[in-house]
Structure 1
């Protein structure tokens, strides 16, 4: 059975299978080796994700994994925080989760996944930076205050909390908030609406996820290919290659 990598997150994950998306790029990168499975939920925060995590990863999958072994995923990316970081006094306040609760929720999600699949690699991803001017141009709901519902400062606090949780849990983390801001033009080249990613922004996530997975031992060099490659098939006796 071909192994899986799950992508668990909010809209930045849900959109990742679009043209040039980081999830689609992962699926292409690991073709013939791993199925990349999308579990992205637009608008979700960690409070809601924790409430539904057992439905996203049901017990039936655990039982299947226990019986055959093949269903245990190789890795799960956990990419939440952009919605938790909505400000409590702005137009998207219903999505806000206090940063202390955000940390507890992340730890609970990690604990759930580790209990379900002890050998699965988990990768935490921080929320990206926020271009506040861009958010004013693309409000999700009516913005009567005329103020951005997110700020880069707030997103940075949640990114720092995500990095902290990764350290406490002994997990790798992709600090996207800091990584993207290393480029002085990050607002224009990485974000299309002040929050969601451009094709170049998706490329950053894809390349960083590949690097983090490689550090855990998951790479093109270490993973088996599904069924014989064409170069391995004997042209004088092709069917013999499928007897293994």
Structure 2
């Protein structure tokens, strides 16, 4: 399949006006026929939430949906593209690293939804280092800051399908650094297992704390080599090949429980 023949659905969770989506759209233009169906507003961290109805308007980039990334994938693949080949989600403002983040991310969830349509997908996110005295909401990368992410994604779009990558993976979770130190290397990784969440209760509300990100900013998170977080902290593009459907294994202990169940 040539690049010109490839039909690509591009979506995200930051919204159709985000610079990360625009950077990817421009980078993918030479690699296929790109159709943008993206949320009209920021839908970060909505996971695989979906709507039953959602308003849609035409946009200079494509179609803006008053809904979630999952809504956009379902609509894009069934209503706006006749014969899709690939779904790309991103580029997200902020990395999507580690096992525990995958189910929360709207960006990754868009790729997961594509997998249930039996289509290959790539979810791309930008690692944005946050100093201790700065709030994440105050950091707004510009389009040029997504250059490394866009370049890596375009490369994978060009080569991954024909190379057989998706014979073994349903989707690729890509995390790229800011383009501060020149071109980055690409590293094949696995999601980190690091997890440290807790909550405090005060004055009638709870406040959730993600200490993984706090420790990552401090540089003292001991992630093993080969993990996505280790790669990105060391300035490399992380590519994790992942599968979407939930899998089961045979468990003799569970068989024994079923055999002794009496229903009363």
* TM-score bracket relative to the smaller structure: 0.3 to 0.5
* Alignment TM-score, normalising by the size of structure 2: 0.40
Q: Answer 1 or 2: which has greater strand percent.
A: 2
Larger RCO (CA within 8 A; separation ≥ 6) = 1
Q: Answer 1 or 2: which has greater helix percent.
A: 1
